[in-house]
Structures are given as structure tokens and as C-alpha cells.
Homo-oligomer: A and B are copies of this chain.
Amino acid sequence: MDLDQVTAFLEVARKKSFSRAAEKLYRTQPAISAQIRALEIECGQKLFDRMGRKIFLTPAGKVLFECGENLLSLHRETLQRVREANGAAGGTLVIGANEATCLYVLPQVFAEFKRNYPQVAISIYRNFSQKILLKMAESQIDVGIVTLPVAQSNLKVIPIFEDELQVVVPAGHRLAKRASVKMEDLVEEQLIFPKGGHTRELLEKIFRKQRSRLQISMELASVESIKKFVGAGLGISLISRSYAEAETKANILKLIPLQGPKLVRRLGLVYRTDRHLSRAAQAFTEIVHSRNSKASS
């Protein structure tokens, strides 16, 4: 049982396809087939049921799926520990973060990080919190920054940031002078909303509670484009205060609090407690943490 074979096996099991796994691993399908076959021979039993063109894990396959991940993790950890034995942090630090964090948090953090750890390569997996937690479970990410709350027993969570969702309108908008707005005020407006993700879910929930039917005129995937669109007078939206700092200062956009209880969005740093944290990852969490304590004090 080679680590390469286990890697191939896990990828096949995840993708539920020999061909897809082959692509991901930059080899051809027969190569993957051969590796799986070798594994099956060594284990004395089939790992996949080939039902026509669909494949399923056998009981033995399920066992290997669980154990295999641990094995590869321990392998990575071992390599890391040895490499860092001289005291230096090195290797690659893989961070998972959502779009907003990438734009408004990570640049400053990495500025400080790179100053102290220039040797460390950084890889960022940008996606919704949910996806990040998924990659985390597969041990493909060292540290994640996600929307709270998360409830997983094997994750350490450090709250780092919290922000209020406010209505954002273009500078000359009819609501721009208001000190606050009600939900009802929004119904008549062209609404531009994020597409997918935690914030979107939150907004859906609120509108359902208010019994207002959410009348969305546009859906956009990024905060930046939402701001641009709002700025161009195409509609209004709800975003985290801090994401529009520059535009409010420049008097392009206006932020207005919603009446009623604040809509708070909390971000937190997460990492697995059942995995070794590389020196680089430790350093990263410390920087984020220290910036956070400074900010909140």
C-alpha cells in the first residue's frame, strides 16, 4: 500500500470517478485503474463496486476512505515536522477564506506575515464558508476564515472580526439622507444581492421572517461588483459596513443602518485540533489574533 495509491484511491472515492480523479492528479485513467487494482489485490478485496459506469465504495473501501485520510495527514505532518526541525517555518501555508476576507482582511495580515516569514509559500482557497469547512475536513486546508457559528467538535474556533450588515445606497439616492431604514423601505427598491454564501442565506431568512417576498433584481457573485453596481445606480444592497469604507469616504456610497436588532456577521479563524499545525500556520493565527486584540481594544 503506497501513499500514492492511497492518494489516488481517496481522489477516486471523492470524485466517484476514475477519469475525474486521473485529471485531478495529472495522470491518465489507466494509471489510476492500475493503482486501484494493485490496492485491491493487496487488500484481498474490492474497494469499489463497478456498477455499470457508476462506482460505489464497498465496505472495505469505506474503511480505507476513513483511514486513508488519516494516513496521508500523518504523512504530511511528518514531512512538515522534519522540515521544520531546524526551527524555520517553510513549505506552503494553505488558507481558506471567503471573498470579503480575501479583500479586506488577508492583504494586511499577509503584509505582516511575509515580513516575518518570507520563505513560506501561500496558497489561498477562496470560497464560501461551507466549502472551506469541507476542504478542512479533507485536510486540504491548514487554516480557514469562515462565518460563525461553526459547530464541529474537531475544530478550534477563534472569533476575529464582527461587522454589521447595513443598507448601502448610491450617494444621491432618495434614502441616502435617512438616519435609518426599515425593511419595508426596501421592498420598493431594486435589490442587488450576493449569489450564494452565508450572507445570502442570512438575508433570505430575514426576509422570510418579515413575510416580505424577496424581490431581487440582480444577483452578483462578488462584493466588489455589488458596490460598483450600487454606485452606478442600478439598485441598493445590504453589505458589511467595513467592506464599503473607501466608497463612503469618497462619497460614492452611503451606508444606512437597519432599524431593529443589528444584523451581525461574525468571522472566525478555524483549524483542526486533531491535526498538527505547521509553524507557518501557527504564526498566521497568531498574527490574525494579535491584530484582532488590537482592533477590539
Query: Which residues in A have some Cβ–Cβ distance to B below 8 Å?
Result: 1-3, 6, 42-45, 47, 58-60, 62-64, 67-68, 70-71, 74-75, 77-79, 81-83, 85-86, 90
- Using CB atoms, name the residue of chain B closest to A60: B85
If A2-B3, A3-B3, A44-B90 touch, whether A71 touches B82 (CB-CB below 8 Å) is no
Given contacts A45-B85, A64-B78, 7 further A-B contacts (CB under 8 A): A1-B3, A2-B2, A6-B78, A43-B79, A45-B86, A47-B82, A71-B75
Cα(A12)–Cα(B74), bound, Å:
21
- 19 A-B residue pairings within 8 Å (CB atoms): A1-B3, A3-B3, A43-B83, A44-B83, A44-B90, A45-B82, A45-B86, A47-B82, A59-B85, A60-B86, A62-B85, A63-B85, A64-B81, A64-B82, A67-B74, A67-B81, A68-B78, A70-B74, A74-B74
- Using CB atoms, name the residue of chain B closest to A91: B44
For the complex, would chain A's binding face be called helix, strand, loop or mixed by DSSP majority?
A: helix
Cα(A60)–Cα(B42), bound, Å:
33
CB of A121, distance to nearest CB on chain B (Å):
13
Greatest chain B CB density within 10 A among A3, A60, A67 is at A67
Q: CB-CB < 8 A to A47: which residues of B?
A: 82
Q: Is the CB of B42 within 8 A of A63?
A: no
Q: CB-CB < 8 A to A59: which residues of B?
A: 85-86
Cα(A211)–Cα(B151), bound, Å:
68
Cα(A237)–Cα(B1), bound, Å:
51
Contact of A82 among B43, B74, B82 (CB under 8 A): B43
